[in-house]
Amino acid sequence: MNIPTMAEMVNKGETPEILFWVGCAGSFDDRYKRVTRAFTSILNALEVKFAVLGTEETCTGDPARRAGNEFLFQMQAMGNIQVLNGYGIKKIVTACPHCFNTLKNEYPDLGGDYEVIHHSTFLQELIDSGKLKFDGGPFKGKKITYHDSCFLGRANNIYEAPRSVLEALDADLVEMKRSRKTGLCCGAGGGQMFKEPESGKKDINIERTEEALATGASTIAVACPFCMTMMSDGIKNKEKEQEIKVKDLAELIAEAKGLT
C-alpha cells in the first residue's frame, strides 16, 4: 500500500493535506490493523495526499492519564508535540476517539495546537463534498446498529457524522435502546481496557452487546478500537460470531467501494 511517512515527504519537499495519526491499536492490534488498511485504501482511492509519522509516532499518553500517571502522560505528549511541531503539522485525522480527544483537547495546554478530525467526520465531509460516492452496495437495506464511543459522543458531541456515513451506505440504521447522549459505555475507557473488570452481576460490554443484539441488526458499527474490542468480545461471549459482525465505519466504506 502507498503510505508515505512525513520524513519521506519532507525529503521530497512535499507537504501532505493531512497527517493520519494511526494510534497504538491501529499499529499493533491485529484486528484494528484492518481498520488502518481500510482507511488508507479509501484515502489512496480518492487521491487524498496524506502521510503518517511511522516510527516517529508514539502513544498519545491517553491511557496513562486516564489511569492516573500524569508524569508519563506529559512525557508522551511532549515528545509527540516536539515531532509534530517540528514538521509544522496543521491538520490531523485519526480513527481513534481517545487519540482524537487527547490531541484536540489536551495537547494545546502543552503547546500542541492542531486541527484534529475524527475519521467519521472526515468520511462524512468526503461524502458531503461528492468525492465519496456509492452506487447501491452490499449494505443496501441491511440492518446496522451504531455504538456511540464515549470520547466521540459525550466528550466531543459527535453523534451525527457516524450515522450520516452509515446512511450514505443506504443501510437500515436501527438505534439501540440507549444511544447518543444516553449511550452506554462499552466498558473500556478510563484505562479499564487494560485490566479485568471489577466484580459485579454482569460485565458492561455484555450488557451493551445484549442491547445491540436486541435491535436485530446483522452488523454492529463502531468508530473506536476500544469499542471494537469490547463489542467483539461480547459477540464471542454470546456465540454469535457467525451471524453478527462488528466493523469500523472505514471497513464498511471500503467494502462498499470494493477496496477490500
Question: Could you read off the pLDDT of 5-33 as tens digits, one per residue?
Answer: 999 999 999 999 999 999 999 999 999 99
Task: Show the cell assigned to 196.
Answer: 479485568
Per-residue pLDDT for 234 more than 80?
Answer: yes
CATH T-level assignment (fold) for domain 6-124: Rossmann fold (3.40.50)
Higher pLDDT, 134 or 13: 13
Residue intervals of the chain classified under CATH 3.40.50.1860 are 6-124
Q: What local confidence, expressed as pLDDT, does residue 169 receive?
A: 92
pLDDT category at 2 given cuts 50, 70, 90 is: confident
Q: Is the pLDDT score of 140 beyond 90?
A: no
CA distance 67 to 61: 10
Q: Please give the helix or strand (H or E) that residue 248 lies within, else none.
A: strand 245-248
pTM of the full predicted structure?
Answer: 0.94
Instruction: Quickly state the pLDDT bin for 136 (edges 50, 70, 90).
Output: low
126 in Cβ contact with 132 (< 8 Å): yes
Cell 447518543 belongs to residue: 180
pLDDT over threshold 80, residue 191 = no
Which of 112-121, 126-135, 184-193 shows the lowest per-residue confidence on average (mean pLDDT)? 184-193
Q: What is the pLDDT of residues 111-120, one digit of tens each?
A: 999 999 999 9
DSSP characters over 79-147? HHHHHHHHHT--EEEES-HHHHHIIIIIGGGGT---EEEEHHHHHHHHHHTTSS--SS-TTTT-EEEEP
| H/E segment holding residue 19 | strand 18-21
Average confidence (pLDDT) over 42-52 = 96
Whether 137 has a pLDDT exceeding 90, the answer reads no
pLDDT at residue 194, as a whole number:
78
pLDDT band at 196 (very low <50, low <70, confident <90, very high): confident
What's the length of the chain?
260
Instruction: Give the CATH fold of the 134-256 domain.
Output: Rossmann fold (3.40.50)
